[in-house]
Chain A
């Protein structure tokens, strides 16, 4: 037996893993009734939360005039409507997001803006994450919000969370916006729609496809309306005629090429309150 160590170990580990997985499956089946009950409770809760907010078709992006203005904003004057959302050179601006926002910082010019972004950033990890922000060291989002006064905060998250149930994402997103609003009551909060993926990638994935992205963006727009935030959608710039990311802008199907981030930043500076 001394000479067949590996075969022996491998077979033993295979047997062990099979038994463990078998045990897990049996356990899963045995506790299925309990799990089902827990899930039903969760669903009920989600429905409750939905009813708390004014019910509206999430697919509609257009403003509904009957919606109460929860932030107590007055109707904007003509002048205010055409003001750019972002101050000049992104002074006193905080950009929160995932690797696409990192791209804005790395390949575009975000001027004096603070960037709190990282690959894989999502609403569930947002507050625990530590990011090295230029000139500010490695900080959490809470630290940044506590130590600075921002004029505008751009929040562009959602696509990394698509594997989770939609109600959980929306609920967490809603709480995130609320917390930012609490810590920066003077700031204008701008919610960015998530960028589409290319048609090819959309067709290939059950999770990272444009139907789900559109659904999430719809909820984000709704949150924006309820909480008095602006909502901007980059897809108007990079989409093809079918509503997918134009393949011309990307090689991997998920990110635009570095050279187009400058255009994205330029687009940001052109956004006004009227457009959102």
Chain B
């Protein structure tokens, strides 16, 4: 179930909140756990076994957590067992198919007649997120940075709570411990939470989904048939789409958390205003970056073991970041390019960019969309085609068949959404909102955003007269 769906907003959420509200205080965690399982089941009803997988994950990590905290002598073995358990499932569902395909490719290249079977089962929803949170829990226990959770219900609730189950944020146990045990609910929090949820909904439905249409159309035309201006517009559209999609969803998650009394960490801090890639990744998907820093970069030594080790540690983090986002070569390439940029920035480029913000913004104006190109397009040869469209001087394209002025046509269709995206990616609107938050005007604006988003969601569903226009 997606947050931006009629089922969630008008069926699940009101019913759940009602039940949760009348629940006695001691039962609230159980209620949230149960509700989250219902939520998850709805999403995996075609593969109900995935629900069992989630429950097993909760159970195994809960037990191991208690053991690690209490059986000091076996801590290392227990941690290893836990990490193997958690990452085994992630590897199986996410990466085994990719690995098998590549082995087969090598085998075929070597002339061997056999090939191993390739399974690419559908990914259990949220597995990337709950695996990372479970792993963080065990590692923190091992390091003595937190105490174990004594209640299976509370731990299960922590791992599966629906605001962060499907798409994060990755909230580590030790930061949520207090609120898991006791938290306050109030109308003030409900107000705050509903507001954030609505803002997130608007960003996703009214901006992300709209500009996403342009990127989709560029794909439908085919990369070899677009003009250079349209190629750039398409890439900017994708950059805005992925940002507002992720940011909107994170805000919705945070808003839901606030209603329930949780303070979930934020994931985005106007990343497109950054001056360097290094800064960008401290402002984009913040909880993922923190996780990699805390559980990969620092254990490897961070930047404290000399230049070469730092380089190696950075490479590890960025390759893993790439691969976390998807199991195919373009994501590995993407991670590699990010690594190279960040390495250059650490070796002097960063100082220049920070010193002269205009240069920094110009650099990011190219670095952001171009790195997203590697992220957005899976086929490496298609990436090459697109680069040629972006930079026509890069090579001859005698087969290019595009119509002059295509960017004008799409500019008219999507100009408004693109402009909205560019405005809302700055810090301006949020600042404006903060100033007017107490006034009923902001409430009225949010109400319009809410109902307009609901309208757009409805139109996007199988409404035959307006769903699709050929």
Q: Which residues of A contact B (CB under 8 A)?
A: 3-10, 13, 98-100, 105-107, 119-120, 159-160, 162-164, 205-208, 250-252, 254-255, 257-259, 261-262
Tell me, rounded to whole Å, the shortest Cβ–Cβ distance linking B324 to chain A.
26
Cβ distance A71 to chain B, nearest Cβ, rounded Å: 30
Query: Which residue, B220, B226, B451, has most C-beta atoms of chain A within 10 A?
Result: B220
Least CB separation from B195: chain A residue? A6
Interface residue from A7, A119, A120 paired with B191 (Cβ < 8 Å): A7
With known contacts A13-B447, A98-B470, A251–B220 Cβ distance under 8 A: yes
A98-B220 Cα distance, complex, nearest whole Å: 16
Q: Are the C-beta atoms of B225 and A252 separated by less than 8 Å?
A: no
Q: Which of A13, A98, A159 contacts B451 (CB 8 A)?
A: A13
Once A4-B187, A9-B447 are accepted as A-B contacts, the answer to whether A120 and B403 lie under 8 Å apart by CB is no
Does any Cβ of A come within 8 Å of B440's Cβ?
yes
B195 and A100 within 8 A (CB): no
Name B416-452 residues within 8 Å CB distance of A: 438, 440, 442-444, 446-447, 450-451
Provide the main secondary structure of the chain B interface.
Answer: helix
Q: Is B308 an interface residue when CB atoms closer than 8 A count as contact? A: no
A100 closest partner in B (C-beta): B470
Q: How far is the CA of A99 from the CA of B221 in the complex (A)?
A: 12
Q: What residues on A are CB-neighbors of B18 within 8 Å?
A: none
Report the separation of the CA atoms of residues A259 and B221 in the bound assembly, to the nearest whole angstrom.
8
Least Cβ–Cβ distance between B470 and chain A, in angstroms: 5
A6–B202 Cα distance when bound, in Å, is 15
Asked if A255 contacts B220 (CB within 8 A), the reply is yes
User: Is the beta-carbon distance between B469 and A99 smaller than 8 angstroms?
Assistant: yes
Binds A, one of B22-30, B58-66, B174-182, B460-468: B460-468
B402 contacts across to A, CB distance below 8 A: 107, 258
A4, A98, A262: residue with the most chain B Cβ atoms closer than 10 Å = A4
Considering only CB atoms, which chain B residue lies closest to A118 in the complex? B469
List A contacts of B2 (CB < 8 A). none
Residue of B nearest to A251 (CB): B219
- Interface contacts beyond A7-B187, A252-B220: sample of 15 additional A-B pairs, CB < 8 Å, sorted by A: A3-B188, A5-B443, A13-B447, A106-B403, A120-B470, A162-B464, A205-B462, A206-B462, A251-B220, A251-B222, A255-B220, A255-B470, A258-B226, A258-B401, A259-B399
The residue that A207 contacts in the complex, of B406, B440, B447, B462, with Cβ under 8 A, is B462
Q: Considering the complex, give the chain A residue whose CB is closest to the CB of B400.
A: A259
Nearest residue (CB) in A for B382 is: A251
Whether B470 contacts A99 by the Cβ 8 Å rule is: yes
Which positions in B face A, CB cutoff 8 Å? Answer: 187-188, 190-191, 194-195, 198, 216, 219-222, 224-226, 399, 401-403, 406, 438, 440, 442-444, 446-447, 450-451, 462, 464-465, 468-470
The 7 closest A-B pairs by CB, nearest first: A163-B464, A258-B225, A257-B222, A5-B443, A120-B469, A252-B220, A106-B403
On chain A, the residues within 8 Å of B194 by CB distance are 6-7, 10
**Chain B minimum-CB-distance residue to A195:** B470
The listed residue with most B CB atoms (<10 A of its CB), out of A5, A205, A206, A257, is A5
Distance between Cα atoms of A106 and B402 in the complex (Å) = 7
* In the complex, chain A residues whose CB is within 8 Å of the CB of B451: 13
Supply 22 A–B pairs (Cβ within 8 Å), ascending by A.
A4-B188, A5-B440, A6-B194, A6-B447, A7-B187, A7-B190, A7-B191, A7-B194, A9-B443, A10-B194, A13-B447, A106-B403, A107-B221, A107-B402, A119-B470, A160-B469, A206-B462, A250-B220, A252-B219, A257-B221, A257-B222, A261-B401
Shortest C-beta distance, A217 to chain B (Å), equals 15
What is the CB-to-nearest-CB distance from A183 to chain B, in angstroms, rounded to a whole number?
Answer: 25
Q: Which B-chain residue is minimally distant from A257 (CB atoms)?
A: B222
Known: A4-B188, A13-B447, A258-B221. A160 touches B401 (CB 8 A): no
Q: Which of A13, A119, A257 contacts B225 (CB 8 A)?
A: A257
Minimum distance in angstroms from A113 CB to a CB of chain B: 15
Q: Which residues of A contact B468 (CB under 8 A)?
A: 208, 254
Q: Hey, which chain B residues are within 8 Å of A163, CB to CB?
A: 464-465
Closest to A17 in B: B451
Q: Are B188 and A119 in contact (CB under 8 A)?
A: no
Task: Chain A residues near B221: list those with CB within 8 A.
Answer: 107, 255, 257-258
Closest Cβ neighbor of B468 among chain A residues: A208
Complex partner residue of A119 from B446, B464, B469, CB under 8 angstroms: B469
Q: Which of B190, B464, B470 has the largest number of chain A CB atoms within 10 A? A: B470
Smallest distance from the beta carbon of B353 to chain A beta carbons, Å?
37
Task: Please name all residues of chain B whose beta carbon is closer than 8 Å to the beta carbon of A7 when the two chains form the complex.
Answer: 187, 190-191, 194
Residues of B near A251 (CB, < 8 A) are: 219-220, 222
